Amino acid sequence: CYTTDTKSREENKKTIESLHRLSVDIKKIRRLKEWVLLQDVAYVKEIAGILQEMGADETTVANILERCPEAILHTPAEVNSQRALWQLVCQNEKQLIKLIEQFPESFFTTEYHENQKANILFFQELGLKNNIITRFLTSAPNIFYNPVEKNKNLIETLQRNYLNLGGSDANMKIWILKLLSQNPFILLNTSTVIQENLEFLQKNDFTDHEVLQLLSKLKGFIFQLTPTTMQKSMHFSQNVFKCSDQELKQLVLKCPALLYYSVPVLEERLEGLLKEGISVSQIRETPMVLELTTQIVEYRIKKLSALGYDIKSGTLESLNGTKKDFEVNYGKIQSKKERPIFNPVAPINIED
């Protein structure tokens, strides 16, 4: 709505002057969001004043307004309401201003103020810690734009399914909080999607206990899939590993990535491994290696080869895991290689 007649409109001189006084890079705003400078009404001094009240210095104010120039189009009342709202979960204004500098767009989205407030209070009642809620506000702000009833319904659907799958009342709260902490984007789904995906797993002979296991291992990302994509990925894996339905199920439980990644991703990773001389039977033995990108696999194989470790004849376990896991394994192989065969301080066997 701002771009149709921008050529014929002139920049607001008062806005330009006010921004200039604050040492804001106006060229940067012209390049990224020129439409802000064309608006008749802007609250440059007022918004800068509120940020300074919170402890922002001149450089911080300029940085915030350069990254999110639309901040100056909000009224001081709107920004102060948002300030009070975020203070519900921030330890102090020092932490708040730091968050605003890092995530200005999230803070200056004031249109859903009532929904944001209701959702913050709901998450607090649910038992989520304030530091987790601030992480949600900055990294997954969309979940606060939902009406609180939608988020409540979704949580209730998850709780009901958890109990139906054999989860206990005692563990349910911990399970829900952990799931939300790992993947707040679950809340952008619908109850129907959750139901359909769980039913798909049950139809494919995963027991209730196994479904719960997958939910925990996949950190809720399973709800961002569809039965169709899961079916395609499973079908691809079954063809590659030439296994029965039961064997496939065990592979998926061992490596949920076989369910989560799309066929093109699995294909690319498989090709990368085969190109390195690794066999399909080795991959089947350690399918978790498919969780790693081709670049990571190449890098790790190169490092191990430099130590004389032949990945083609050995196990793929040494490739697996996080960066930290790999470094530990690599260290063990390295120290084993460097250890002398003859130990001069070992006790001598008399019979020898």
Distance from C-alpha of 6 to C-alpha of 112, rounded to nearest angstrom: 27
The pLDDT tens digits of the residues spanning 84-119 come to 999 999 999 999 999 999 999 999 998 899 999 999
Residue 315 has pLDDT above 80, yes or no: no
Q: What is the pTM of this model?
A: 0.78
pLDDT in tens, 188-235: 988 898 899 999 999 999 999 999 988 888 887 888 889 999 999 999
Angle at 262 between CA 240 and CA 258, to 5 degrees: 55
Give the per-residue pLDDT at 348: 47
Got the DSSP string for 277-288?
A: T--HHHHHHSGG
Domains of the chain, by residue range, sit at 9-110
CA distance 32 to 150: 35
Question: Which uninterrupted H or E stretch holds 327?
Answer: helix 323-338
Average pLDDT value over all residues in the chain: 89
Structural tokens at position 131: 């530091």
